[in-house]
Amino acid sequence: MSYAVAAWIMVVGLYGVVTSRNLIHLIICLTVVQSSTYVVLLSVGYKTDGVPPVFYDVPPSPRAVDPVVQALTLTDIVVGTTVTALLLAVAVQAHKRFGTLDPEELRPLRG
């Protein structure tokens, strides 16, 4: 069922990107699409009645969930935010230069 939720979130986020009239709205919808991949990754590594893969005061148990996908997801969250900040800087500069944030009006000039 979590896979269904992840697929739904990805498609809804893509719908927001495609029908967007504002660059900042587009960037936030991109972060929603990214988060669907985190849900898929974590669902792959989950075990029923699992425990976290941290063994500080409990002995290592075979019920611990997969730590590799968790490591991938947590670095991706932090680094994905810096890339989103880069996109926001692009949007701010585009507004300064062209005066508009509408993707329709920001097409390259023709002719």
Partner 1 sequence: MTAAVRRAVFLVFGAGLLALLLWSFGGLPDLGHYVGPYGDLVNALTIPERHSTDAVTTVNFDVRGFDTLGEDAILFAAVVGVAVLLRVLRDEHERPRPEEDASGRRIENTSSAIRLLGAGLVGPTIVLGLYIVAHGQLTPGGGFQGGVILATALLLVFLSDQYITLRRVGPMALIEAAEGVGVAGFALIGVAGLIWGSSYMENFLPLGTTGTLLSAGTIPLNSVAVGVAVTGGFAFMLSEFLEQTLVVRRE
Partner 2 sequence: MSVLQVAALLLVAVVGTATALTREPLRQAILSSLYGLVLGILFFVFQAPDVALSQTAVGAVALPLMILLALAKVRGGAR
Return residues touching partner 1 (CB under 8 A): 1-4, 6-8, 10-11, 14-15, 18-19, 21, 40, 43-48, 50, 52-56, 60, 62, 64-72, 74-76, 78-79, 82-83, 85-86, 88-90, 92-93, 96, 104
Q: Are 73 and 44 in contact (CB under 8 A)?
A: no
In terms of CB distance, is 60 or 92 closer to partner 2? 92
The full 3-state SS of 2-41, as one line of letters, equals HHHHHHHHHHHHHHHHHCCCCHHHHHHHHHHHHHHHHHHH
C-alpha span between 102 and 108 (Å, rounded): 13
104 DSSP 8-state letter: T
Asked whether 103 and 90 are in contact (CB, 8 A), the reply is: no
Supply the minimum distance, in Å, between the C-beta of residue 60 and partner 2.
Answer: 15
Binding-site ranges for partner 2 (CB under 8 A)? 1-2, 5, 8-9, 12-13, 15-16, 21-22, 24-25, 27-29, 31-32, 35-36, 38-39, 42-43, 46, 48, 50-52, 54, 65, 70-71, 73-74, 77-78, 81, 84-85, 88-89, 91-92, 95-96, 99, 101
